Structure 1
Amino acid sequence: MEKPNTDIDWFEVISENYMNTEGRPMSVLESIRKDYPITCHGVGMSLGSSNDIDPNYLKDLKLLIDRVDPFLVSDHLAWNHFNGIRLHELIPVPYHEECLEVITNHIDHVQNELKRQIAIENISAYFNYKSSTMKECEFLNLLTQKTGCLILLDINNVYVNAKNFQFNPVDFIKTIPKKSIAQIHLAGFTDMGNFLFDTHAEPVHPEVWNLLETFLDYIPENVPIMIEWDENVPEFQQLEDELNKVRKIVKKGIKNEVREPSELIY
């Protein structure tokens, strides 16, 4: 397969799409991998489940990452698997000590089995648990301290949750240890009128670009940044144009002062 004419530096693949898979899917992935670094981003590890991590899942994931050697392996701070039932959604976890202990043990187990650090992504959510005793950003921070895991910081998810639950996105991002940020996601949400829905179906919104610009001086230098677009996917050139906006922001080295919440949530 001929290398595409693109300025894109690397690609991210959904791990589950290539686990236990051969044929054309794996052929295409291996062809891309010859020319580009990749990351493996999972949606099915279910780190927040009270059940143990599925050993067959981990076995298949390790076979994949040993085969394609991604520069980062990641999944979500969420659960979607319980007693053999798998949900096709990322369900948030309660933020309290008991849950922190469970997820800490799960991350330790996964990192030992895979023999590498993994990165955990903050998700978009549409409800809170009454049992939570801490904020999501505090919970993520404690996970990095206890396990040495990394953070995949989804700035779109930070903004969506900040708008839906009325908190300050500045405080959230400032709580995440800079040294733990291994990758950044950007995406487009859909405004449903009374809440924002993380659809990945639109261009990145100005408010999310604003958050990226605001914290450009805070995030690690040369951290990998990518655009997620899962529905209503446009022509490839439009996707590349979105990514070039990231390059322009980073190249300009914008150093905005941290603004008040009213300027970031509107």
Structure 2
Amino acid sequence: MHNVPWLGFGLGLRPPHFQDVLEGAEGVDWFEILSENFMVAGGKPRYYLERVRADYPIVMHGVSMNIGSTDPLDMDYLARLRELMRSIEPVWLSDHLCWTGAGGQSSHDLLPLPLTDAVLNHLLDRIDRVQNYLGRPLVLENASTYLAFAGDEYLEQDFLNQLSRQSGCRLLLDINNIYVSSRNHGFDANAYLDEIDTQAVVQFHLAGHSDYGDYVIDTHDHPIVDPVWALFERAVRRFGPVSTMIERDDHIPPFAELVAELDQARRIAAPHWPSSEVPHASAR
């Protein structure tokens, strides 16, 4: 995945905003879809997706690949994912570095992996098979975590770097997830960010979370908080122009409120990314 295009500033495409987008999403350069919501041929979701895709770049983002599990790869899922990919031609396709089930049972959650050489080798094999089947590199996201394994042999950022270098996959760096995990585990979020390979990252996620004081949960149901914006600014300075989008999956506000939040990301990036490189929302 060389010469990855910079898409600018995007939003997650969610059903409450379908009509707003069709009427003209001023201030939004691109959209990310949740792949599983569109993996059925026909119907209203695909109708809206096809109309949006005619006017905007689309990125696919999944939650069910189960890349870290010991279960066999779900070839039925991958076949449906590939059909959707071929239909809408996304700029790239991503999922989470995690496992979501075992023994044929789904946990409906993004579960953490031990950060060991054995797990790294397990992932390298599975990523290779998925990339060959889909015919393109995967993009994998750092998930938020709430526990660590006593047997860990890597820091997460080092594990991500090794995985990208050895598999050829790229990274979707979720800025909010770094913050959430740093609060839960007590590590330095700035140091984590500073140690990620700049050449590996093709996308940033921004989102809100629920803060319970002693722990933080990645819920995507609140506005982005100041410490996450500060971490994003550090990422902007370190990585240069990276396609950036906001996720909101619950307590979804009016479309205009999310566009206003996206404008804040633009304002933060503007002093650090040359204005000549910043795409305008009207440019397609």
Measure, in 1, the Cα distance between the counterparts of 2:272 and 2:263.
Answer: 14
Change in CA separation of 1:245 and 1:132 when aligned onto 2, cut-off 3 Å? same
1:44 aligns with one of 45, 64, 67 = 64
1:24 paired residue number: 44
Tell me if the contact between 2:174 and 2:204 (Cα under 8 Å) persists in the aligned partners. Answer: yes
Counterpart residue number, 1:242: 261
By how many angstroms is 1:147 displaced? 0.5
Who is 1:188 aligned against?
208
2:74 partner letter: D
Alpha-carbon separation, structure 2, partners of 1:46 and 1:39: 19
Given candidates 5, 14, 19, the residue that maps to 2:34 is 14
Residues matched between the structures, number: 254
> How much has 1:215 moved relative to structure 2?
2.6
Deviation readout 1:187-230 (Å, 9 max, x if unpaired): 01111121111111111010000011123221132x11001111
> 1:228 maps to what in 2?
247
Contact 2:27/2:263 (CA < 8 Å) preserved in 1? no
Question: How far apart are 1:7 and its partner, in Å?
Answer: 1.9
1:263 aligns with none
1:108 counterpart = 2:124: no
Q: Which stretch shows the higher mean deviation, 125-134 or 34-43?
A: 125-134
CA displacement, residues 55-102 of structure 1 (integer Å, 9 cap, x when unaligned):
111111000000000001000010012121112100011100111111
d(CA) in 2 for partners of 1:77 and 1:96? 14
C-alpha deviation, 1:3, in angstroms: 4.1
| 1:1-266 matched pairs, under 5 angstroms | 2-221=22-241, 223-253=242-272
Distance, in Å, in 2 between the alignment partners of 1:204 and 1:131 is 33
Partners in 2 of 1:200 and 1:70 — Cα distance? 23
Runs of 4+ in 1 over 3 A off after TM superposition: none
Which letter maps to 1:150?
A: R
Q: TM-score, normalised by structure 1?
A: 0.92
Q: Which amino acid aligns with 1:251?
A: A
| C-alpha displacement of 1:5 | 4.2
Q: CA RMSD in A?
A: 1.5
Please, which runs of 5 or more residues in structure 1 have no aligned partner?
A: 255-266
Deviation at 1:243, TM superposition (A): 0.2
Paired AA for residue 258 in structure 2:
L
In 1: Cα distance, 2:156 partner to 2:264 partner: 29
Sequence identity percentage:
38
Higher RCO by CA contacts (8 Å cutoff, separation 6 or greater): 2
Amino acid at match of 1:134: Y
In 1, Cα distance between equivalents of 2:52 and 2:182: 36
TM-score by length of structure 2 reads 0.86
Give the Cα–Cα distance (whole angstroms) in 2 for the partners of residues 240 and 156 of structure 1. 18
Instruction: Give secondary structure in 1 for the equivalent of 2:158.
Output: helix
